[in-house]
Structure 1
Amino acid sequence: MTIQITFELSDEDLEHFRALMKVAIQNASKYSPAEVLQKARAVCSEMESANLPGFVKHRLDSLETLISALEDDEWQMPEDEKAEILTSLAYFSEPHDLVPDNIPGLGYVDDAIMIELVIQDMSQDLGAYTEFCQFRKTEENRRGNEADVNRESWLEGKRTEIRSNMRRKRRLFSR
């Protein structure tokens, strides 16, 4: 038998978690970007080996996608975007859990909240990278593994798609 519990965090509650994130960012400033990334990966690996509730697992997948975006040379992420994502990963460099992770079902609630805050802050980056990965997979399937797919080719494809949609809408409205 399962039970579903839903709770809502107020602005005041969220401010508490954002304050924890600010402290983590200050503490993580002593680490190099590579160390922050390594520590975030280690936390993800540790969480993957745990028996995570579904609400955490879903968020962990998104966090891992952000980390992959940083490591993906073909994505060609600008340095300022890399810095933003690395900053958002700071909490996972030195996690001081509010709720100990070994408490079954509840131990990862605080981690899920922090991951959700990161995902919300980085939703545009996460969405764009996810679209890029889908584009790359489609192009590699269509043209073979030698397909030259990078951020620029994806952006060109997006521009073409937008222009095509604009022409189609113009034709529909001109009728």
Structure 2
Amino acid sequence: MSAPVQTALKVEFELSESDLDFFRDRLAKARDARIADDEAVILEGVAAMSKQAMAANPPAFVRDRIEQLGPLVAMLRDADWRLAGDDRKRVLDALAYFADPDDLIPDSTPGIGYIDDAIMIELVANALAPELEAYDDFVAHREEIAAGAEDLPSLDDARAVMQSRMRRRRSRSRAGGTWSHSTSITHYF
């Protein structure tokens, strides 16, 4: 009698606060190691890591998180969004980890090489939720304008409102307000 063939294996794990502190520390070290004017290097590193990760055919959990880096890179490259100052620095600081080829688990380790990257992306996406939401709303607004919708605020007005809302939400989440995907993670940035 042969054993049934298992087509998938579900693995779940929970990270404690001390585990999250370990990952936050790695993000902080990547942030502190980055050179002030190395934006192009970070964006190129993120693009290379993403391409390499997707080519490795990672598990769906990892693939889904790798795709979350796209909007973060896009908001930095988007001339209409004009993310500047501390807002821009926060996103670059968050992406610095992914530009470093020396991460926790070597990416070349089959099956699990990008698990650490997926965890870091989850932390970053939660911490930058106000930025991601505002940018998503801005892109949708721009698409509505391009589709010919009338009586909409200009891109400049929409950007000003959405970036102001983004900053308010970030401040509220740091102060322990009601808007926060994960208060403990949001406090990292």
Give the structure 2 partner of residue 129 of structure 1: 135
Give the structure 2 partner of residue 84 of structure 1: 90
| CA distance in 1 between partners of 2:108 and 2:100 (Å) | 17
Task: Give the Å deviation of 1:88.
Answer: 0.8
* 1:12-161 equivalent positions in 2, closer than 5 A: 12-29=18-35, 32-143=38-149, 150-153=155-158
AA aligned to 1:152 is D
Identity of aligned residues (%): 34
Task: Give the Å deviation of 1:155.
Answer: 5.2
Which shifted more, 102-111 or 9-18?
A: 102-111
More helix by share: 1
SS in 2 for 1:36: helix
C-alpha distance 97-127 of structure 1, shift in aligned 2 (>3 A): same
Pairing 1:10–2:13 present: no
Task: Give the Å deviation of 1:104.
Answer: 3.0
CA RMSD in angstroms comes to 2.7
Unaligned segments of structure 2, at least 5 residues: 1-6, 163-189
Q: Which runs of 4+ in 1 moved over 4 A?
A: 154-157
SS in 2 for 1:74: coil
Give a deviation string over 1:113-156, Cα, whole Å, max 9, x none. 11111111111101111111122222212259xx9963523556
Number of corresponding residues: 157
Q: State the TM-score, normalizing by the size of structure 1.
A: 0.78
Task: Give the Å deviation of 1:94.
Answer: 1.4
C-alpha distance 40-8 of structure 1, shift in aligned 2 (>3 A): same
AA aligned to 2:128 is M
Contact 1:99–1:108 at 8 Å: present in 2 too?
yes
Q: Which has the larger radius of gyration?
A: 1
| CA distance in 2 between partners of 1:81 and 1:132 (Å) | 15
| CA distance in 2 between partners of 1:128 and 1:72 (Å) | 13
Q: State the TM-score, normalizing by the size of structure 2.
A: 0.73
Contact 2:30–2:96 at 8 Å: present in 1 too?
yes
Task: Give the Å deviation of 1:87.
Answer: 0.8
Unaligned segments of structure 1, at least 5 residues: 158-175
The higher relative CO (CA closer than 8 Å, separation ≥ 6) is in 1
Contact 2:61–2:118 at 8 Å: present in 1 too?
yes
| CA distance in 2 between partners of 1:40 and 1:92 (Å) | 5
Give the structure 1 partner of residue 3 of structure 2: none
Contact 1:74–1:149 at 8 Å: present in 2 too?
no
